[in-house]
Amino acid sequence: MDVYRITKEPIDVEEALQAIADPAVGAQAIFLGTVRNEFEGKSSQGLYYDAYVGLAEKELAQIGAELKDEFGARHVVLIHRTGDLPVGAISVLVAVSTGHRPEAFEAARHGIDRVKARVPIWKKEHWSDGGDAWHHDPTAFGLT
Amino acid sequence: MDVYRITKEPIDVEEALQAIADPAVGAQAIFLGTVRNEFEGKSSQGLYYDAYVGLAEKELAQIGAELKDEFGARHVVLIHRTGDLPVGAISVLVAVSTGHRPEAFEAARHGIDRVKARVPIWKKEHWSDGGDAWHHDPTAFGLT
Amino acid sequence: MSQDITVTTLFFSFAADRMNCRNKNYVIPQGTTLGEMVHLLQPQLGPDSTHWLYSVNEEWASGERPLEDGDEIAVIPPVSGG
Amino acid sequence: MSQDITVTTLFFSFAADRMNCRNKNYVIPQGTTLGEMVHLLQPQLGPDSTHWLYSVNEEWASGERPLEDGDEIAVIPPVSGG
């Protein structure tokens, strides 16, 4: 079974494992992105994630189809959480199941890379010193 | 926290996630090996795993130390189950957490590769037609 | 004779900060393309906005796309999910 | 004058099938090396057994290792975990 979802709810790893289970499958790879307590050496209290939900879910499904075509993934789960997330929370989950292990790693690796590169989701750092900064904002990280 | 274990009990993914959690961590990669319903095209009912438990647990810990040294893994969980396992059961779990995602995939990939190559564990196929065969037994798979 | 159409435009991340809003309706001449619309927004969105991605009705769209009445345009600054 | 020692040998996987047991005690002369012990087992373990790995007291060991009274030797045919 496949799941492509943008959600405000905590990500449930067990649900993903159930979705990718299959008697024909020998390998499952799961990637979890978690909120860190720092970014580039600066202390952080957490992240806020914004998303364009409709397009984001379509893009997740598109990426899932690619993982099946290119790496033989049998089942794909791509879930990204939005809203305010504390340090340690799971922000994104990629789970795939395949016949054998090399494809499982390939599919999961390309899955998270493509989610990060293409899905309309944005994160804002809540610095411990009180400030906020959108990632990739040229003015926020002294890029201009 | 690290876990290196050979066990007859079902593998608990949630326990592994708790063990590798860390506020300084941004990436977690988990690999699960599951029992397939076929091997090289022949229908199978499940697997029996035998292990030399004492040496196997030492070797798991050695591999964990390597994943920390070579790929900067902060926490490592390596668990392998033994006994009779039905199709779909998780036979092996590799879970690592790292600062960023490339190292998470590298560490998990090398983790499962080294477990399969070095840890004294052996599997026997329970064919659907009633026969049994130890993997790597030269007489069992027509290798002689 | 060209009529006017109304489109809804969505802003996210620092584009929303720059626009001071999450969405806004624009009345524009029929036949306006997405590229012309982006040009219209550029003074407030910033010069980098011409390199961003855009969608119309939840599908990626290029600058040549003619806009229609009721279209939902989304301004997609560089993404940072994960 | 050499005394005899007793060692325990563990068999796994198809090595256990070939030996018809999971473990067996052997009384061997003091000073026997692991390699000599493997040579002793080879007729029943099979010719491929000289390429297998062996451990003594839960540590990987090479053929030159002298065995001592009470040692636990494990015969490790090619592994197949995962």
- Quickly list DSSP for A22-91: -TT--EEEEEEEE--SEETTEEEEEEEEEE-HHHHHHHHHHHHHHHHHHH--SEEEEEEE-EEEETT-EE
A109 touches chain C (CB under 8 A): no
Given 3.20.20.140, 3.90.1170.40, 3.20.20.70, 3.40.50.620, which CATH number is that of B3-135? 3.90.1170.40
Structure tokens at B29: 């990669």
Following DSSP, what letter does each residue of A88-143 receive, concatenated? T-EEEEEEEEESSHHHHHHHHHHHHHHHHHHS-EEEEEEETTS-EEETT-TTTTT-
Q: D13: part of which helix (H) or strand (E)? A: helix D13-19
Q: Which of C48, C59, C81 sits opposite A138 (nearest CB)?
A: C48
Q: In this predicted model, what pLDDT tens digit does every residue of B8-54 receive, in sequence order? A: 999 999 999 999 999 999 999 999 999 999 998 999 999 999 999 99
Q: In this predicted model, what pLDDT tens digit does every residue of A11-22 receive, in sequence order? A: 999 999 999 999
Name the minimum distance, in Å, from the CA of B22 to any CA of chain A: 7
Q: Quick check: D12 and B122 CB within 8 A?
A: yes
pTM: 0.95
**Cα B19 from chain centroid?**
16
Spell out the domain ranges in chain C: 4-76
pLDDT at B33: 98
Look at A17 and A140; give whichever has higher pLDDT: A17
Following DSSP, what letter does each residue of C9-43 receive, concatenated? EEE-HHHHHHHTSSEEEEEEETT-BHHHHHHHHHH
Q: Which of B52, B58, B139 sits opposite D12 (nearest CB)?
A: B52
Query: How would residue C79 be classed by pLDDT, with cut points 50, 70 and 90?
Result: very high
Using a CB-CB cut-off of 8 Å, the residues of chain C touching A61 are: none
H helices present in B1-144, as ranges: 13-20, 53-71, 101-118
Q: Would you say B77 and B16 are in contact if contact means Cβ atoms under 8 Å apart? A: yes
Expressed in angstroms, the distance from the first to the final Cα of chain B is 45
Strand ranges in chain D using DSSP code E only, listed in sequence order? 4-11, 23-29, 53-56, 59-61, 72-76
Q: Which residue of A has its CA nearest to B12?
A: A14
- pLDDT over 50 (residue B88): yes
Q: Quick check: D13 and B91 CB within 8 A?
A: no
Place domain C4-76 in its CATH homologous superfamily: Beta-grasp domain (3.10.20.30)
- pLDDT over 70 (residue D28): yes
Name the minimum distance, in Å, from the CA of A79 to any CA of chain B: 15
Cβ neighbours of residue D39 under 8 Å, at least 6 residues apart?
A: D50
Q: Which of D52, D59, D76, D80 to mutate to test the interface with B (most CBs of B within 10 A)?
A: D80
Strand partners, A8: none
- From residue B122, give the alpha-carbon distance in Å to each of B37, B52, B55, B92, B141: 18, 9, 13, 12, 15
Interface of A with B in 3-42 (CB under 8 A): 13-14, 17, 21-38
- pLDDT over 80 (residue C58): yes
State the CB neighbour count (10 A cutoff) for residue D59: 11
- For the stretch D36-41, contacts whose Cβ atoms lie closer than 8 Å and that sit 24 or more positions apart, written own/partner, are D37/D7, D37/D9, D37/D67, D37/D73, D38/D63, D41/D9, D41/D75
Q: Which of D17, D60, D78 sits opposite B136 (nearest CB)?
A: D78
